[in-house]
Structure 1
């Protein structure tokens, strides 16, 4: 296209510096226009890179903490790899389709998260390992291993803050960026290098899917995101899986939902409905129709705008991809009552892209399979729920907001292990409290405790004095 800027080169960033591979993948924006070229490294590069990470020494704690804070400052303010923060945010919005206000918020949150990474990571530390009062013995909190591989997701740029906590804990980290949106991972690793972490401390290793398995298998531990890889590694004790979210809301009959409508709508629509913590199902004790109608009325007013607009609130995709998603959702919604989105979900923007409009569907039973569907835009399934249904429809949930005054029910929800987070009252599903776990603390996976006792050894016995010779008579 005449006048289009040259594509951004996203090189691998390894122990020997930037590496521009012969194999490259074109990263396009929501219209299909090329924005960047991502180098894709071969297996040999991954093996050698992991070997270098394994040989490296961990920097002292005070150096790691200072470097993480400096990396956060650079990420949010500096020109890195030739990209200003403004150009980076614009590119991420155009590539991911996320509204630019969300991208800017993620930039600020990344800076804050890096500055507090050590403190956040240590929230998982057992109390026993912090108490040195056990005489000569105590518990110490140590790494399970040395090298962590991370297969990142591309649905939100703020996701990278979590793996940075591993650097605070002394791990060396190999990051495979999402091929859908690799800009954020590349910028963060660049910032970490500029702040003082070596290429043998944190490396960016873009790979194809097959080589990604080599990365996971060659590291000591791994963290992965996304439905496809989660199913592959779910049974592994050395791989931490994240996804899908399936955030939900429960409204019991003792609650006037109209007083909590802001919380319900925000849970569904904030962050463009693209996060794993956005609500995708609402269960109502009683008639779900009034809830579905009220939510649909509120969501219907959201504007359809290009992602770089300051007023954008909905995600954007290439028109053909949006049409395919629309077709899929409508097929899955067969038999459900459409309060919003039944006549179309893809709103063309005139440039080959489309905004994904909100959808609200009413189901006829709590165990309907659609209630488990998670879409990358504001799409919610509203279903009836009764005490006879029990907790089964609410299980397998990253976060549940319960709008209820039933204390016994709250206790049962809190005890349910497959509900990973529980909010009671007006707390939207997507709002995370700094320092509290999102899907468990990362430190629970990366660290372990062991006993250390130290007793001073007994001093060597003093040598016996030489015998005094008897007097000669």
Structure 2
């Protein structure tokens, strides 16, 4: 049994209240300390009392932390043991978990470079810059402490908050009980690399403690469903990461056969669990042949335990997988199932199940179904025509428009509810340092202040 203790200003803190963490088969693998709201508020107050480390020390410590995270034993686990454990408890295929964890290390290593594209060209980082003598903008933090309510569907969610450390924030991480290992490993690595205990804390807590950390921090990042997005929609201090509802649109002049590989990868890559996985494919014309080709590709994916290096599909507890299939069956009434809810649950015989892909063909681009996102390869395929316009494509994190129509690209870029627009042979999950996820993270963390001095 592993112990995941809280990591506060005074170091490790093992509480009397602990929660057992199980793998997807229901086997206990760890005990997680659960801190009360009072500990949360005291911890954040301690974080406020320290000033940021000098920039040079932050940069050096982040580079060292990335190496420690990726190569050193941390919390009793080497890197491969940590990846295996994260896979076991989250149900993410081990190869996907491995790539995602490597991505965390790369994101921490590249955190300094990641904030650079977000800084306005007219702003300086330090008021001592000579440009402020003539008058300039200073890029300033919107607060001192950032709370992170991490999700547990992938280690990769922990990659971005290192940017806050670059900018001088102190960070309070509330891990998901579904996968608490990545946050624990990263905060430990940061401390070993030279960050002080107050710079990054690890606060496993219950719902009351989760609310407390958002209340007492200056800014917060939260992950969740539409209910979470709606709850914080009017709070400018909270950045929500909700459903992606990512889509692909193929116009009539394009040969979809040439893009089938990238379409299938967009649907099933990363186990279909990411917000950037395609939830819907729209085709200008009759989509049946396209839908059948997608289903034929997806049906070849073999259900395997998450620990199998050939595994592609996500794993859940058997009872949870059955609930997902039941929800899909009810939701998909009226759609034509090419791969329906009845075949989704693949019982692995140990109390867990893989979630086979689901493919449904729609008669029209029903926005409600096109935006129904589930945490496995589940795609809705519908016809689209010019008269439908952008309505079926709204509220999308990514739209990949496979088209030669430049006016359509212009319209998608002008649509406020579409965050990212790709065009052509690119998976919807494609990432690069200069591509924002949902805007640059630093857009939320920072603001511009005017300054002139003598």
Category of TM-score, reference length = shorter chain:
over 0.9
Output one character per residue of 1:275-310: Cα deviation in whole Å (capped at 9) or x when no partner: 000000111111111111010000111111110111
Alignment of 1:161-240 (within 5 A): 161-227=159-225, 228-240=227-239
| Stretch moving more, 288-297 or 430-439 | 430-439
| Stretch moving more, 123-132 or 249-258 | 123-132
- 1-structure distance, mates of 2:187, 2:363: 48
Alignment of 1:72-471 (within 5 A): 72-130=66-124, 136-227=134-225, 228-455=227-454
Shift of 1:107: 2.0
| Distance change (3 Å), C-alpha of 1:9 and 1:419 | same
Residue aligning to 1:461: none
- 2-structure distance, mates of 1:176, 1:234: 20
Higher Cα Rg: structure 1 or 2? 1
Shift of 1:326: 1.0
Output one character per residue of 1:330-354: Cα deviation in whole Å (capped at 9) or x when no partner: 1111111011134310111121111
Output one character per residue of 1:414-436: Cα deviation in whole Å (capped at 9) or x when no partner: 11111100000011101111232
Indicate if the aligned counterparts of 2:17 and 2:35 stay in contact, CA closer than 8 A: yes
- 2-structure distance, mates of 1:80, 1:39: 17
Indicate if the aligned counterparts of 1:364 and 1:383 stay in contact, CA closer than 8 A: yes
Select which of 3, 11, 23 maps to 1:9: 3
- 2-structure distance, mates of 1:359, 1:153: 24
- 2-structure distance, mates of 1:313, 1:177: 25
Indicate if the aligned counterparts of 2:303 and 2:356 stay in contact, CA closer than 8 A: yes
- 2-structure distance, mates of 1:112, 1:85: 14
After the TM superposition, which parts of structure 1 deviate over 6 Å for at least 4 consecutive aligned residues? Answer: none
- 1-structure distance, mates of 2:335, 2:190: 49
Could you tell me which runs of 5 or more consecutive residues in structure 2 were left unpaired when the two chains were aligned: none
Shift of 1:121: 1.4
| Distance change (3 Å), C-alpha of 1:52 and 1:134 | closer
1:41 maps onto 2:35 in alignment? yes
Kindly tell me the number of residue pairs found equivalent between the two proteins: 449
Residue aligning to 1:459: none
Shift of 1:31: 0.4
Indicate if the aligned counterparts of 1:30 and 1:318 stay in contact, CA closer than 8 A: yes
Indicate if the aligned counterparts of 2:132 and 2:451 stay in contact, CA closer than 8 A: no
Residue aligning to 2:21: 27
Indicate if the aligned counterparts of 1:142 and 1:449 stay in contact, CA closer than 8 A: yes
- 1-structure distance, mates of 2:73, 2:262: 38
Task: Give SS of 2:323's match.
Answer: helix
- 1-structure distance, mates of 2:172, 2:219: 10
Select which of 61, 65, 69 maps to 2:59: 65
Task: Give SS of 2:136's match.
Answer: strand
| Distance change (3 Å), C-alpha of 1:278 and 1:132 | farther
- 2-structure distance, mates of 1:255, 1:240: 37
- 1-structure distance, mates of 2:132, 2:148: 37
Indicate if the aligned counterparts of 2:228 and 2:242 stay in contact, CA closer than 8 A: no
- 1-structure distance, mates of 2:327, 2:146: 36
Residue aligning to 1:468: none
Task: Give SS of 1:90's match.
Answer: helix
Task: Give SS of 1:162's match.
Answer: coil
Shift of 1:198: 1.4
Indicate if the aligned counterparts of 1:341 and 1:357 stay in contact, CA closer than 8 A: no
Task: Give SS of 2:410's match.
Answer: helix
- 2-structure distance, mates of 1:52, 1:134: 32
Shift of 1:186: 0.8
Q: Over the residues paired in the alignment, what is the CA RMSD in angstroms?
A: 1.3
Shift of 1:368: 4.4
- 1-structure distance, mates of 2:132, 2:23: 59
- 2-structure distance, mates of 1:263, 1:82: 39
Give me the TM-score of the superposition, normalised by structure 2: 0.97
- 1-structure distance, mates of 2:65, 2:228: 29
- 1-structure distance, mates of 2:228, 2:216: 16
